[in-house]
């Protein structure tokens, strides 16, 4: 069964550094998402992406964040200058059609020290 | 977005049915009811969704009240692998999903 994959599984970075989290969505999917989950808290929507542009974003997704689909397979989340409070699990998801079920990856644990 | 209310936690015995309730009294006519679950240390996983009629799939059943103000996710025979946080989410025209705190299901052997 096709699945969403994410790399790395764990990323440790120092405050102020840039990080790029990578995702490979399911190949025929058209809509892509990033969510995050701070330890012990709920899953929070960050951004949705369709047709090479952001379709929706939450208040969390500020100027420090950006997303890109650099080729036909990868979908990336960049955090320009990480802060301690960016430490969280970051989940990528994809879906074939808008409002259909979303398929989530296993997540990347980001630790900012 | 319309809000959902779920119990914080529930317990079940292995091999027994589990009924997970969700209240959504402010649901609108175009809101779909989605259920996801999150197993420990994993990403959320789609379970089932419906609009008005009850729905069945290989994982679960979804019973939707006639007035649509509540719904129940039914796991017919709980296994230890079903221990997870279950989220009831209403989706309208927006493409994103807003997760609540969900119900933490514990399955006892």
Q: Give the pLDDT confidence of A28-46 residue by residue, as tens digits.
A: 999 999 999 999 999 999 9
In the predicted model, is pLDDT for residue B24 greater than 70?
Answer: yes
Q: Give the pLDDT confidence of B51-89 residue by residue, as tens digits.
A: 999 999 999 999 999 999 999 999 999 999 999 999 999
Interchain proximity A45–B96, CB inside 8 Å: yes
- Are A21 and A90 contacting, i.e. CB atoms less than 8 angstroms apart? yes
Residue B72: the pLDDT is 98
In 10 A of CB A17, how many CB atoms? 13
* A32 min Cα distance to partner chain B (Å): 10
Measured between alpha carbons, how far is B101 from B99 in angstroms, rounded to an integer?
7
Q: Which residue of B96, B98, B100 is the best one to mutate when testing the A interface, meaning the one whose CB has the most A CBs within 10 A?
A: B96
> Which candidate, B10, B8, B33, places its Cα nearest to that of B83?
B10
In the predicted model, is pLDDT for residue B11 greater than 90?
Answer: yes
Q: Which of A42, A55, A105 is facing B43, going by the closest CB pair?
A: A105
| pLDDT (mean) for A14-30 | 96
Residues 47-106 of B with CB under 8 A from A: 49, 87, 91, 93-102
| pLDDT (mean) for B4-16 | 96
Residue B1: the pLDDT is 58
In chain A, the residue whose alpha carbon lies closest to the alpha carbon of B44 is A104
Structural tokens at position B35? 């259920």
- Are A42 and B99 contacting, i.e. CB atoms less than 8 angstroms apart? yes
Residue B2: pLDDT band (50, 70, 90) is low
> Which candidate, A31, A67, A65, places its Cα nearest to that of A51?
A31
Residue B91: pLDDT band (50, 70, 90) is confident
| A-B contacts (CB, under 8 Å) | 50
DSSP string of B5-60? B--SEEEEETTS-EEEEEE-TT--TTPEEEEEEE-TTS--EEEEEESSS-EE-SS-
In the predicted model, is pLDDT for residue B93 greater than 70?
Answer: no
């Amino acid at each position: 069964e096709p699945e969403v994959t994410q790399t790395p599984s764990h990323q440790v970075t120092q405050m102020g550094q840039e990080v790029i989290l990578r995702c490979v969505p399911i190949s025929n999917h058209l809509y892509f998402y990033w969510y995050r989950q701070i330890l012990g808290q709920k899953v929070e929507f960050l951004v949705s992406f369709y047709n090479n542009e952001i379709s929706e974003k939450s208040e969390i997704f500020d100027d420090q964040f950006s997303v890109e689909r650099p080729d036909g397979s990868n979908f990336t989340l960049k955090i320009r200058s990480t802060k301690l409070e960016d430490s969280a699990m970051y989940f990528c998801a994809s879906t074939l059609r808008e409002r259909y079920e979303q398929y989530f990856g296993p997540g990347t644990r980001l630790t900012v020290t | 977005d319309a809000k959902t209310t779920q119990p914080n936690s529930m317990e079940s015995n292995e091999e027994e049915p589990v009924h997970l309730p969700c209240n959504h009294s402010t649901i609108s006519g175009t809101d779909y009811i989605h259920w996801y679950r999150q197993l420990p240390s994993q990403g959320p996983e789609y379970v089932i969704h419906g609009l008005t009629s009850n729905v069945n799939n290989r994982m679960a059943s979804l019973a939707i009240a006639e007035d649509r103000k509540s719904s129940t996710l039914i796991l017919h025979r709980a296994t230890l692998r079903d221990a997870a946080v279950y989220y009831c989410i209403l989706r309208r025209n927006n493409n994103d999903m807003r997760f609540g705190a969900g119900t933490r299901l514990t399955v006892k052997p």
